[in-house]
């Protein structure tokens, strides 16, 4: 039985972690474990495979690093090769985990290495040959190194998949499976994802985890209680630009992150904002690594207080002091929305997020609200009031349907799909007229 975390005052010393790790945690100023740490660490210390849903900013990195490091410290190994591998979707996130790991290993002899694209291949080869115990990596570069037969994961003890939902969304599914299949089968695997409602994540868990526990902590519907979420309606992109400029000039914030759905849009906003004497940087996936790093440093150090970014570039970004996130474009789905607003209001901070919504985006935004089971606060900016006030027939259309939305049952949807499938198979075949209802295929 695991001690019930509710029954005792949460503290790191109750988690039975190695002394060196407790000293590091203390030095980092962590006073007590966050909920995900409290729940995942004891299970991981029992060598259980885990599927954990934890939102960004919840302290999930330490939730997987601490038990991993504890295992490595308490069971020294004489075998060669990497002992723990953390796979993560982006270079920025890998760098952050690497730094976090270096802090946590400060009082140990354990060595941590970083493997990401864009950095020196040969240095990474050498690092792996030196049997660095913990490797933090993005999947692409690991595969390249595997082609040269350099990494040795045959004695791997821990495999951690961080932000697995995002790795899948970014198309890394096959890469992750290839890497995982090259790893020691007796390893322990921890799979972290912002959401468990991602079908691919569940499939991946089925493939890669042995009999496992699920820590469903921050499901999407828990909401982000330390983030105030607002909507401002806009007529068009020109109006949005005026609203954005006003917000950046009038809101109080340390750092602001502005999201667009495309690189082109991010680039297009830079000029006009600079024209208004706002110091802005741009971060997107097509910039080369050096420029991205430089931008991140400027933002981190507060030289640049406003960053225009696309989803890919900002994924996992953990920069202190981001307390304003503006969605210039409404994100394409609820998961992206979560990841964007997850950049603000981390652990103890408070944040404000504002979505600029034009009429073509209204349905998308309502879909996100429904998905999150939350209603965002609608705000108007007097100085820049626009014409668009939301859909006109909102109430009337509700009444027309008897006040209820038309909900397709699962069965009805499944039947439609099957009928469509059957129709496809029958293309070119003569259809025999029948008065009977369509027969639903069962296989």
Count of positions on this chain that bind ligand AMP (CB under 6 A): 14
User: What's the CA gap between 266 and 330, in Å, rounded?
Assistant: 13
Convert residues 114-153 into a mask of x (bound to ligand AMP by CB under 6 A) and - (unbound). ----------------------------------------
| Residue 156: closest CA among 131, 137, 122, 174 | 131
Residue 68 interacting with ligand AMP (CB under 6 A): no
Structural element, H or E, at residue 282: strand 280-283
DSSP states along 374-401: --PEE---GGG--S--S-TTHHHHHHHT
Of the pair 60, 70, the CB lying nearest ligand AMP is at 60
* Shortest Å distance, C-beta 34 to ligand AMP: 5
User: With respect to ligand AMP, which residue has the nearer C-beta, 53 or 56?
Assistant: 56
Give min distance, CB of 17 to ligand AMP, in A: 12
- Shortest distance, position 229 Cβ to ligand AMP, whole Å: 19
DSSP code of residue 356: E
d(CA 102, CA 186): 26
Nearer to ligand AMP (CB atom), residue 28 or residue 123? 28
Q: Is there binding between residue 347 and ligand AMP (CB under 6 A)?
A: yes
Whole-angstrom Cα distance, residue 330 to residue 358?
9
Q: Which stretch binds ligand AMP (CB under 6 A): 57-65, 112-120, 186-194, 403-411?
A: 57-65
Q: Is 57 among the residues that bind ligand AMP (CB under 6 A)? A: yes
- Among 44, 62, 159, 314, indicate the residue that binds ligand AMP (CB under 6 A): 62
E-assigned strand segments in 284-350: 306-309, 322-327
Query: Whole-number minimum distance, CB 111 to ligand AMP, in Å?
Result: 21
Nearer to ligand AMP, 340 or 346 (CB): 346
Residues in Cβ contact with 267 at an 8 Å cutoff, skipping those fewer than 6 apart: 282, 284, 308
What whole-number distance in Å separates Cα of residue 91 and Cα of residue 140?
10
Nearest approach in angstroms of CB 50 to ligand AMP is 15
Distance CA 297, CA 299 (A): 5
How many CA atoms are closer than 13 Å to the CA of 262, on its beta-carbon side? 3
Rounded Cα distance between 79 and 41, Å, is: 25
8 Å CB contact between 203 and 352: no
Hey, which residues between 348 and 407 contact ligand AMP (CB under 6 A)? none
Q: Quick one: 316 or 331, whose CB is closer to ligand AMP?
A: 316
The nearest distance, CB 317 to ligand AMP, in angstroms, is 9
Which residue in 60, 198, 242, 339 binds ligand AMP (CB under 6 A)?
60
Assess 34 for contact with ligand AMP (CB under 6 A). yes
* 346 is an interface residue for ligand AMP by CB under 6 A: yes
End-to-end CA distance of the chain: 43
Binding region for ligand AMP (CB under 6 A) out of 1-9, 14-22, 50-58, 369-377: 50-58
CB of residue 368 to ligand AMP, shortest distance in Å:
22
Q: Tell whether residue 56 is a contact of ligand AMP (CB under 6 A).
A: yes
Using rule CB under 6 A, residue 318 touches ligand AMP = yes
61 contacts ligand AMP (rule: CB under 6 A): yes
Residue 58 is a binding residue for ligand AMP (CB under 6 A): yes
Q: Which listed residue (51, 59, 133, 183) binds ligand AMP by CB under 6 A?
A: 59
Query: What is the CB neighbour count within 10 angstroms for residue 361?
Result: 19
Who contacts 157 (Cβ-Cβ below 8 Å, separation ≥6)? 71, 72, 75, 77, 83, 84, 184, 187, 188
- Kindly report the CA angle at 128 between 124 and 129, in degrees rounded to 5? 115
Interacting residue ranges for ligand AMP, rule: CB under 6 A:
30, 33-34, 37, 56-62, 318, 346-347
């Amino acid at each position: 039985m695991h001690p019930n975390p509710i029954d005792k005052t949460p503290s790191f010393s109750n988690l039975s972690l190695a002394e060196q790790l407790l000293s590091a945690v203390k030095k980092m100023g962590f006073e007590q474990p966050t909920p995900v740490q409290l729940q995942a660490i004891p299970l991981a210390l029992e060598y259980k495979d885990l599927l954990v849903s934890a939102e960004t900013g919840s302290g999930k990195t330490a939730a997987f690093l601490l038990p991993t490091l504890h295992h490595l410290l308490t069971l020294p190994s004489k075998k060669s090769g990497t002992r723990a591998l953390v796979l993560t979707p982006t270079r920025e996130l890998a760098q952050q985990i690497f730094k976090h790991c270096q802090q946590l290993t400060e009082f140990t002899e354990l060595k941590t290495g970083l493997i990401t694209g864009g950095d020196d291949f040969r240095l990474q080869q050498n690092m792996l040959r030196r049997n660095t115990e913990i490797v933090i990596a993005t999947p692409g570069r690991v595969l390249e190194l595997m082609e040269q037969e350099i990494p040795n994961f045959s004695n791997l003890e821990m495999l951690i998949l961080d932000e697995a939902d995002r790795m899948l969304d970014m198309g890394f599914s096959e890469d992750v499976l290839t890497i995982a299949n090259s790893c020691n089968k007796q390893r322990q695997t921890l799979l972290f994802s912002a959401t468990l409602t991602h079908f691919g994540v569940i499939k991946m868990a089925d493939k890669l985890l042995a009999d496992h526990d699920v820590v469903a902590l921050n499901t999407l519907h828990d909401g982000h209680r330390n983030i105030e979420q607002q909507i401002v309606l806009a007529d068009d992109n020109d109006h949005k630009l005026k609203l954005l400029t006003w917000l950046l000039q009038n809101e109080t914030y340390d750092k602001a992150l502005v999201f667009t759905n495309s690189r082109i849009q991010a680039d297009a906003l830079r000029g006009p904002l600079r024209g208004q004497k706002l110091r802005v940087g741009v971060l997107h996936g097509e910039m080369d690594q050096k420029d991205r790093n430089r931008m991140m440093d400027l933002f981190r150090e507060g030289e640049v207080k406003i960053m225009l970014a696309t989803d890919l570039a900002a994924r996992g970004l953990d920069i202190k002091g981001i307390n304003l996130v503006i969605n210039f474009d409404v994100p394409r789905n609820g998961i992206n929305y979560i990841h964007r607003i997850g950049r603000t209001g981390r652990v103890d901070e408070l944040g404000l997020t504002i979505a600029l919504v034009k009429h073509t985006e209204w349905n998308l935004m309502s879909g996100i609200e429904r998905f999150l089971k939350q209603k965002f606060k609608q705000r108007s900016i007097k100085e820049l009031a626009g014409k668009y006030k939301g859909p006109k027939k909102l109430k009337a259309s509700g009444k027309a349907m008897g006040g209820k939305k038309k909900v397709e049952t699962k069965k009805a949807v499944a039947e439609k799909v099957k009928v469509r499938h059957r129709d496809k198979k029958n293309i070119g075949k003569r259809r025999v007229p029948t008065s009977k209802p369509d027969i639903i295929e069962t296989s």
